[in-house]
Structure 1
């Protein structure tokens, strides 16, 4: 397996992976009405053009993981860290997170997740992230904002 930058041609496959990978998040909220499941290819292309998208591929060149980030001021905003459900709990999310941080050396890193995503929070804390804020987005949906200096 290898991690490298995604190309524009990879975006449809990454979006398909995103729809699959975020089913577990949707089940936490008992709703498919979450932004990762509603994102369009045009919106993903816009993120591609304004930041960095990494992909994790198998030897067969199948994308099984991805993460993206963009730089604003001196902060790299990291989002959509995802691993195919069949490949989870193997340290791949940690590897993707490390690689996206390496794309923006010596920066502050920020990401967010929901309070219900305890596995995500545990991973981020293990990787050195600390909670600095939280906001209620809607009934039952609270985002935790985490940073790493």
Structure 2
């Protein structure tokens, strides 16, 4: 498996991956207009320009996983860690998550996730992230911000 920098030409495929990766979780939560599902292609291009985006492709060149990040004042924001459902539980997400942190110099890393989606939340806890803020974003939906200081 090879982790590479995504290119501007990858943006449509990254948006497709995003919808596939988050679709079942958003439907299960009844949050079908969640940001990963409602993002437009235009906004995806804007986000790409403001982030370092990593990708993993399968043997056919299809993007199966990705993560993005950007550093501001020493704080690395990690976003959109996503793996196609059929490629989960193989360590791909963990490798991407660790790679983005190693690649971008920082003294603090942070991210946000939905508390009700337990697998990612518990993964971030295992990776040393701790909750520092939360916000109710809808009925039964809590958005939690997590950080890891170096």
Task: Check whether TM > 0.5.
Answer: yes
Question: TM-score interval w.r.t. the shorter chain?
Answer: over 0.9
TM-score w.r.t. the length of structure 1 is 0.94
Residue 92 (structure 1) aligned with residue 92 (structure 2): yes
CA RMSD of aligned residues (A): 1.2
2:56: which partner in 1? 56
Question: What is the total number of aligned residue pairs between the two structures?
Answer: 149
Question: Runs of 4 or more off by more than 3 Å in structure 1?
Answer: none
**In 1, are the aligned partners of 2:53 and 2:69 still within 8 Å (CA)?**
yes
TM-score w.r.t. the length of structure 2 is 0.94
Quote the offset at 1:137 in angstroms.
Answer: 1.9
**In 2, are the aligned partners of 1:28 and 1:116 still within 8 Å (CA)?**
no
2:14: which partner in 1? 14
CA distance in structure 1 between the partners assigned to 2:35 and 2:54 by the alignment: 20
Residues 13-65 of structure 1 deviation map (CA, whole Å, 9 limit, x = unaligned): 11001111111221231231111001111111111111111111122221000
Structure 1: gaps of 5 or more residues: none
Aligned positions of 1:114-133 closer than 5 A: 114-133=114-133
